[in-house]
Amino acid sequence: MISEETRRLLLVHAHPDDESITTGGTIARYAAAGAEITLVTCTLGEEGEVIPPELRLLGADAADQLGGYRAGELAAACSALGVTDHRYLGGIGRWRDSGMAGTPAAEHPRAFVRGPLEEQAGQLAAILHEVRPQVVVSYDAHGGYGHPDHIRAHEITMAATRHTGGRVFHVVSPASAVARGLAGLRLASELPFRVPADGELATVADELVTTTVDVSGQLDAKVAALRAHRSQVSVPSPASCYALSNGIAQPLLTAEYFTLARGPAEGVRTDLFGGAAEEQA
């Protein structure tokens, strides 16, 4: 259990909004409890599908200015979650959103998946050497749902943390928790999004979860961060779910879930740092 020194948590995410969608509650919880949070974002999300009609000319198929706009959204989300140390891998604009698998975006000279893995892992390793976090969080080998940039973020995280010590976690969505959340959404009288069938969203088997972080006290912060990413995320009122440009409802869960990929397992059932869960701030 880490108690004598300041807790330092570093998260590696592929695009602006990933930090809020998958780990927003966890970030807010540990930040409120006094942990130092470092967020590393690998790209500007230039290939994102824009939701508000008035912003669509920012897209990659038009003015190609979405990345700059999303940087502003990310700054607002960081403020909502309590992140005070945010970095872009290699500097802002070094790596570009690669788009979904099989799209021409992956051939861009700065595409994240096209860059040398060794160079990218070295850029992350330099941040790790500076920050010296006890806990690092990123994605599993499938990138959560198969996005090439998420997979590359996983690869560089595992490479950069090979000799750093500490714990490395992958954020995951257990099937049973997602099913319960969707069942609740089906009871809602009015919802502006389509509720997917069980099994339609990307999940993992429950037994893969090693750590469950209660974020019920941080849902307001998470919702504020999601709403900051308005070009990519829609959140209804009241906030029971959110949706991306595909209009598919995803439930707002009261916990976030992780798989321990590296490091000691002692005490990690409810705390990424391997101790008693912090009191709610």
Output the domain CATH number for residue 127. 3.40.50.10320
The answer to whether residue 267 is domain-embedded is no
Residue whose C-alpha is closest to residue 251's, from 181, 176, 177: 181
% pLDDT > 90, the chain: 93
Examine residue 207 and state whether it is found in any structural domain, yes or no. Answer: yes
Distance of alpha carbon 16 from alpha carbon 244, whole angstroms:
13
pLDDT, tens digit (0-9, with 9 covering 90-100), for 214-267 = 999 999 999 999 999 999 999 999 999 999 999 999 999 999 999 999 999 999
The whole domain housing 48 covers: 8-262
Task: Determine, yes or no, domain membership for 277.
Answer: no
pLDDT at 1 over 50: no
* 235 domain residue, yes or no: yes
Residue 57, token pair as written in the block: 């000319």
- Mean pLDDT value across residues 185-199: 92
Residue 118 belongs to some domain of the structure: yes
Count of structural domains within the chain = 1
The reply to whether 274 falls in a domain is: no
Give the C-alpha separation, 258 to 23, whole Å. 10
User: 20 lies in a domain?
Assistant: yes
CA 92 to each of CA 3, 12, 20, 40, 110: distance values in angstroms, whole numbers, following the listed order: 34, 15, 19, 11, 12
Give the integer Cα–Cα distance in Å for 95 and 88. 9
pLDDT digits (tens, 9 = 90+) for 89-138: 999 999 999 999 999 999 999 999 999 999 999 999 999 999 999 999 99
Does 271 fall in a domain?
A: no
